[in-house]
Structure 1
Amino acid sequence: MIRVGIVGASGLAGGELIRLVSQHPELELTFLGGDSSAGRRPAELHPGLRLDLGLTVEPVTADRVAEKCDVVFLATPAPVSARLAAELADRVPCVTDLSGAFRIRTPELHRRWYAKAERATELADRFVYGVPELVGDQLVDAALISVPGCYATAITLGLAPLTLGLGLHLRTVVVDGKSGSSGGGLQLRVPDLHPLRNGAIAPYAPTGHRHAAEVGDFLRRSKPGSVGSLAMSAYGVSHVRGLLASSYVYTDDPVDQRTLQRAYFRFYKEHPFVRVRRHDETLIPVPDPQAVLGSNYCDVTAMHDPDGGRIVVLAALDNLVKGAAGQAVQAVNKRFRLPEETGLTMQPVMPA
């Protein structure tokens, strides 16, 4: 069995990691780390997890984690992850970080969006950007993995068949993102209180989002294809889980609906967690976040809009599973040469 530690066990992503790891046939949960929750059991922190794992949350020390773990998940804020990764690198066989501390490779861009997450450039350069569908071979035996953000995962999986598959130059990409309240974690903020959040469509990042910077940084380093300007507006909506990223793509390269459909099916043919869908294939228009909740799927649709001179790419996922904990486990499966879907075959829950 592969021994697993989770640091940040009291948060939403930490709870999802506990849920997934505890039912994984090849992973054994051996360490739970945290500060404010030290001494507490998982069932006290996460009402849905009435599990007797024989573990309580412990203070985090590099010696203790190195002793107990073959892989450690850091479900911690970016500044904390930056510090812990520096302490644990080369002491734990695999460090997998769910924060933004190591997602953006370009130092100047990282400092703009994650100014408080100070890191060594040499350490950042060692991290593999963990989108298993796009960098699978790089994850095998990787010592350091940076799990993409939830929006970034949806946007990147939506655009990759255009750039990496068809080799298109995307002159302009405009992203409209809508996410539930769990995307903000468990921090208490006035705009997230129920009287203000319920029924809201809150434009919390109307002129830019760090996940768009992350997508641009990754795709501009990937070939073939290229991305010019990439802008994003993000909105909080009143449901709890799930997000929809709508990307409006403008390119001067010739393309039609048949080419798009074939390219997307071909690109994701061998990747079980990306479901290429027709917009009208089922009872409700898809992709829709409610059709992926609780699962590790990302549903993707690409449509040609000849009147608007654009390609419309829609991608939906559960931000706590494929957008966080599920993708982290998927990356670790690849790292340890396990079948990619091991422990992640749960189907969506709908209605939820």
Structure 2
Amino acid sequence: MIRAGVVGASGLAGGDLIRLITQHPDMELTFLGGSSNIGRRPAELHANLRIDLGLTVQPVTEEVADQVDVLFLATPAPVSNRLAEQLVDKVPAIVDLSGAFRIATPERHDRWYPKVDRRADLADRFVYGVPELVRDQLKEASLISMPGCYATALTLSLAPLTLGLGLDLKTVVVDGKSGSSGGGLQLRTSDLHPFRSGAIAPYAPTGHRHAAEVGDFLERAKKGSIDSLTMSAYGVSHVRGLLTSSYVFTDEQVDQRELQRAYTRFYKGERFVRVRRNNETLIPVPDPQAVLGSNFCDVTVLKDEEGDRIVVLAALDNLIKGAAGQAVQAANIRFGLPEESGLTMQPVMPA
């Protein structure tokens, strides 16, 4: 049994980590960490978790290394940076859900995370944890940085084009729409119900740090190239789920049949990436509704002949495949467990 700890136990991703780990056949939750809710039980923090594990939230000290095999950090980036420095080489595996170590290139990291002054030697050791693309690296990793929710959808959208077909992409323009849970539990005026309900709020219309991390990862992964990757992000009124629409322009000629075959081949055998045809169900897909509560990412690729572009759509639950579920998936690989352990739940619909 793998002993697991969660730091940031009171947050949204922390709550889903607790839920997933307590249902996991091969993991045992042995530690809850935090700073603002010391002494509180999971059931006090999360209304859906009426469970008594005999655990309360505790301060994080180096003694946690004696209590866990894997420590999940569902904490803000500066906190994750501090805890990683404190616990590296003491805890067998640290899985960080923040942005502290997602961007490997120092200059790009400093632009998007100026408040995270990380050690270069520590940053170099983190594996960017997209399980479908770095599975072999995860098997021996002691430090894993999980992609952001948008970044997960984008990386899985674009990898078949760059890493699979080896295309050189001139321009990728991304439209991203996410529910309110993507912003966590911070209190902001724009997230109050009178303003968020029914809204399509352009909170990052000219750039997003998740696009920066995708570009950083795919550049280092090589094969094809992306000259320009830009993103506009919108908050919509639902709570869970996100959809990315990637509009891809390239001088290389590919048709719909070749694209469909490339995506199907690239993700053949992958448990959690479902390559779908846009019209295969009664409602058009991908739709975030069709993945809620699950670890699936649904991906659809289309050739727009009129616009001479490739359109790639991806939908996922931002708190599961975009956070807690993917983190558990990465930990499963790290400890030699079946990749789907604790993650076999089907989506809930309607949501």
The whole-number CA distance in structure 2 between the counterparts of 1:208 and 1:115 is 16
Which residue of structure 2 lines up, in the alignment, with residue 61 of structure 1? 61
Alignment of 1:255-334 (within 5 A): 255-334=254-333
Which residue of structure 2 lines up, in the alignment, with residue 33 of structure 1? 33
> Residue deviations 1:104-126, cap 9 Å, x none?
00001001101111100110000
Q: Does 1:11 align with 2:29?
A: no
Tell me the CA shift for residue 285 of structure 1: 0.4
The whole-number CA distance in structure 2 between the counterparts of 1:86 and 1:253 is 45
The whole-number CA distance in structure 1 between the counterparts of 2:62 and 2:154 is 35
Aligned to 1:246, what secondary structure does the other structure show?
A: strand
The whole-number CA distance in structure 1 between the counterparts of 2:250 and 2:82 is 41
Root-mean-square deviation (CA), in Å? 0.5
Which residue of structure 1 lines up, in the alignment, with residue 164 of structure 2? 165
Tell me the CA shift for residue 85 of structure 1: 0.4
Which residue of structure 2 lines up, in the alignment, with residue 223 of structure 1? 222
> Residue deviations 1:145-181, cap 9 Å, x none?
0000000000000000000100000110000000000
Q: TM-score, normalised by structure 2?
A: 0.99
The whole-number CA distance in structure 2 between the counterparts of 1:30 and 1:38 is 16
The whole-number CA distance in structure 1 between the counterparts of 2:282 and 2:325 is 27
Which residue of structure 2 lines up, in the alignment, with residue 199 of structure 1? 198
Aligned to 2:221, what secondary structure does the other structure show?
A: coil
> Residue deviations 1:63-111, cap 9 Å, x none?
2x11111000000000000000011110000000000000000001001
Which residue of structure 2 lines up, in the alignment, with residue 46 of structure 1? 46
Which residue of structure 2 lines up, in the alignment, with residue 132 of structure 1? 131
The whole-number CA distance in structure 2 between the counterparts of 1:117 and 1:42 is 29
One-letter code aligned to 1:28: E
The whole-number CA distance in structure 2 between the counterparts of 1:226 and 1:22 is 41
Alignment of 1:14-163 (within 5 A): 14-63=14-63, 65-163=64-162
The whole-number CA distance in structure 1 between the counterparts of 2:210 and 2:14 is 20
Tell me the CA shift for residue 60 of structure 1: 1.0
Aligned to 2:155, what secondary structure does the other structure show?
A: helix
Percent same amino acid at aligned positions?
Answer: 77
The whole-number CA distance in structure 2 between the counterparts of 1:195 and 1:301 is 34
Tell me the CA shift for residue 270 of structure 1: 1.6
> Residue deviations 1:293-324, cap 9 Å, x none?
00000000000011101000000000000000
Gaps of 5+ in 1: none
Which residue of structure 1 lines up, in the alignment, with residue 252 of structure 2? 253
Q: Does 1:239 align with 2:238?
A: yes
The whole-number CA distance in structure 2 between the counterparts of 1:270 and 1:96 is 25
One-letter code aligned to 2:336: R
Structure 1 ranges of 4+ moved more than 6 A: none
Q: TM-score, normalised by structure 1?
A: 0.99
Tell me the CA shift for residue 223 of structure 1: 2.3
The whole-number CA distance in structure 1 between the counterparts of 2:266 and 2:50 is 40
Aligned to 1:202, what secondary structure does the other structure show?
A: strand
One-letter code aligned to 1:8: G
